[in-house]
Amino acid sequence: MNEEKSFKPYIPADRVMPEITVVSVLVGVILAVVFGAANAYLGLRVGLTVSASIPAAVLSMGIIRVLMRRNSILESNIVQTIGSAGESLAAGAIFTMPALFLWAAEGLGEKPGLLEITIIALCGGVLGVLFMVPLRSALIVREHATLPYPEGTACAEVLLAGEEGGSNAVTVFSGMGISALIKLIVDGLKVIPSEINLTFQSFGAQIGTQVYPALVGVGYIVGPRISSYMFVGGVIGWCVLIPMVLLFGADAIIYPGTNTIAAIFAADGPSGIWGSYIRYIGAGAIATGGFISLIKSFPLICRTFGDSMKSLKGGSATSSERTAQDLPMSFILIGVVLMVLLIWLFPAIPVNLLGAVLIVVFGFFFATVSSRMVGLVGSTNNPVSGMAIATLIIATLALKASGATGIAGMTGAIAIGSVICVIAAIAGDTSQDLKTGYLLGATPKKQQIGELIGVVASAIAIGGVLYLLDAAWGFGSPEISAPQANLMKMLVEGIMGGQLPWGLIFVGVCLALCFEVLRLPVMPIAVGIYLPVQLNACIMVGGLIALLMDRRKNVDEKTKAAQNNEGVLYSAGMIAGEGLVGIALAILAVFEIDPSVLAHGFSFGTIGSIVILALVILSLLKYSLWSKNVGKH
């Protein structure tokens, strides 16, 4: 309690500055839609999402302070609060909802309507924000010294740096511009192949890398440890499991394949074997990793839930001090009741009133887990997919027991899982944003209103983004493989109808258990098995640059931290730039406009791919290892 009283925010409680303004809301909503679309594209492509809080903070600082010459740091904070909500809602939605499109493509049902997607996302998003209001006192204020909230603290530092200048924003925009240009050249004009591959035909192995800037940026942000584990997973899949399948089963026809393994390899190479068999092994490993993460977190879950109950008894009382004002509890309770009624009455979510209440109870449970987990290890390591897997299995079993079988039961399970998944993702993002506000001296009530605005804007936009990407390429295609949604789809189908290749799934389960016994992180290795090795290798390139940055001996820690921050901002810009061009190319594809006709079939071949990858590496080195802006932050 002494820690709580002694803490002094940057803006004192007795000083009032502009926060929620027309400008901050408009700019925040634009960033929420933009980052939501970009993160949806990235997650559907690689199965990973990254926190947009830091780039949103940088852009809000650049737009509000540098371009508009407005001097309220709390106004910039509201912009990043609203803007980062789009990324989190997209992360929750893309893990599950594309499964509905995949079933429609198989002729098992109809695509979800835009209203259906919006309502499901809105229920999850609003509940995620409301649940964090009573938790703020327990997690942000009382545990300020013990829960660092890495992204939230970093956002505060970025906004404080904006008080001195705008060089951070220039770094982000540089990454966006370079990445957008390369994405246009590779996937728009198609004058350069997107992959560099080396295939060993004699025993069926393949190694290679993609050349996309966003993947290099992801590797830099997640660091050498996670990226190396993902790469190891890719190597296990493409250089161990594929050759073994070929060696021992070349003449066999094994479900889910419809031809001999040798014929599949002859037609599609190693990628054919990976698509028919290895992905199911990876799916089993990912599902097991999700359960392991939940089991290991169980003591923490119980403690967090206890803390949240205590905070409800007295931690959310109205205070006259500006920096301690939350939305009133009456507003929270009315909002939760309205969401329960909406879930109950909305036809796409097939539950009775008791089921709707249970969804909300489970949602609050997972919101407490999510908010504390991101406080300890950051949003990147938030086990949202593990929570979604657990929810989906419980929901599918419950619906099947109640007689809701077939496609109706499966779509219902995905709808329930989507609500829970979005709750967990938004609760984690909201807690990071409230930490930023706590450090800066923002008004919590205004931040919470900002979160709700961002959720509403993103929920309206996410349906259009999903429809656009599906119309352009189709979920499950090489452009947007939707790995997490495919996994959820397979789990629901397997439980409901027994249509999974359980032998392959259990191979993945046993591999995951072996990794756990060896004390290796299961989830990144499992994701590496599930994804193409070329994608993992490109992420590894960014991880190696981060390793090079960290291992330098003759650089002081302050300089190293400043250069690393510059590299993170540039990487975030590369991710955003590629995501936005990906959305633009999707729009052109819907209207059957092919930019590659401008190149008249010309290609630079593999040499061009090598040059592009080298340029991406050099540009990241320029904004990290060779950065000259260290003294300006």
Residue-level pLDDT at 575: 78
Residue with tokens 């995501």: 579
Q: For the whole model, what pTM was predicted?
A: 0.73
Token pair for 493: 């189908």
Would you tell me how many other CB atoms lie within 10 Å of the CB of residue 63? 21
pLDDT digits (tens, 9 = 90+) for 220-279: 987 899 889 989 999 999 999 999 999 998 888 887 788 899 999 998 899 889 888 998
Residue 345 has pLDDT above 60, yes or no: yes
Count the neighbouring beta carbons within 10 Å of the beta carbon of residue 163: 12
Domain range enclosing 384: 2-12+22-173+319-390+407-483
* Number of Cα atoms under 13 Å in the Cβ half of residue 305: 12
Q: Which amino acid is at 158?
A: V
Residues 6+ apart with CB under 8 A from 11: 17, 73, 74, 440, 441, 442
Rounded to whole angstroms, the Cα distance separating 344 from 139 reads 31
Residue 159 lies in a domain: yes
CA distance 225 to 237: 19
On whether residue 299 sits in a domain, the answer given is no
**Unique residue bearing structure tokens 């990235």:** 42
More confident of the two residues 446 and 286: 446
208: DSSP letter: E
Question: Is the pLDDT score of 308 beyond 50?
Answer: yes
> Would you give the DSSP letter of residue 597?
G
On whether residue 124 sits in a domain, the answer given is: yes
Q: CA–CA separation, 348 vs 113, rounded Å?
A: 10
Band of pLDDT at residue 633, cut at 50, 70 and 90: very low
Backbone angles phi, psi at 284, to 5 degrees: -65, -40
Q: Is the pLDDT of residue 122 over 70?
A: yes
The pair of structure tokens assigned to 54 is: 């830091």
User: Is 630 contained in some domain?
Assistant: no
Using alpha carbons, list the distances in angstroms from residue 9 to 160, 318, 324.
12, 19, 12
Q: How many angstroms separate the CA atoms of 339 and 345, rounded?
A: 10
Return the H-helix or E-strand segment holding 195: strand 195-200
DSSP letters for 249-279: HTT---TT-SS-HHHHHHHHTHHHHIIIIIH
On whether the CB atoms of residues 440 and 8 are closer than 8 A, the answer is no
Q: Which long-range contacts (CB under 8 A, 24 or more apart) does 586-594 make?
A: 586/41, 586/468, 586/469, 586/471, 586/472, 586/473, 587/468, 587/472, 589/471, 589/472, 589/473, 590/468, 590/471, 590/472
Lowest mean pLDDT among 282-296, 391-405, 434-448: 282-296
b/e string for 236-257 if b means 16 or more Cβ within 10 A? bbbbebbbebbeebeeeebeeb
Residues across the chain: 633
CB atoms within 10 A of CB 505: 21
Q: Is residue 58 part of a domain?
A: yes
Q: Say whether 197 sits in a helix, a strand or coil.
A: strand
Query: What are the angstrom distances between the C-alpha of 575 and each of 131, 180, 385, 616?
Result: 30, 9, 21, 12
Question: Would you state the torsion angle of the CA atoms of residues 400, 406, 407, 408, taken in this order, to the nearest 10 degrees?
Answer: -50
Give the model's pLDDT for residue 632: 47
CB 208 within 8 A of CB 196: yes
Residue in the block written with tokens 């008080």: 163
**CB proximity list for 38: less than 8 A, separation 6 or greater:** 52, 87, 575, 576, 578, 579, 580, 582, 583
**Over 70: is that where the pLDDT of 206 sits?**
yes
% the chain with pLDDT above 70: 88
- Asked if the bond preceding 350 is cis, omega within 30° of 0, the reply is no
The average confidence (pLDDT) of the chain is 84
Q: How far apart are CA 32 and CA 54, in angstroms?
A: 13
The C-alpha atoms of residue 30 and residue 32 are separated, in whole angstroms, by: 5
Asked, for residue 443, whether it belongs to a domain, the answer is yes
Percent of the chain beyond pLDDT 90?
A: 34
Give me the pLDDT at residue 517, please: 96
Mean pLDDT for the stretch of residues 117-125: 94
pLDDT at 315: 47
**Residue that the structure tokens 């989190």 belong to:** 88
β-bridge mates for residue 205, sequence order:
200
pLDDT digit string, tens, across residues 498-551: 667 888 889 999 999 999 999 998 878 987 887 889 989 999 999 999 999 988
282 token code pair: 């990876």
Tell me if 585 is assigned to some domain.
no
In a domain, residue 577? The reply is: no
For residue range 568-597, what is the model confidence (pLDDT) as tens digits? 888 878 877 887 788 788 888 878 888 989
Residue-wise pLDDT tens digits, 386-431: 677 777 878 888 888 888 888 888 998 899 989 998 998 899 889 9
Summarize pLDDT for 464-479 with one digit per residue, the tens: 999 999 998 899 888 8
Q: How many domains does one find in the chain?
A: 1
Q: Which whole number is the average pLDDT over 174-185?
A: 92
Helix residue spans in 297-443 (DSSP H): 298-314, 329-345, 353-377, 384-401, 406-440
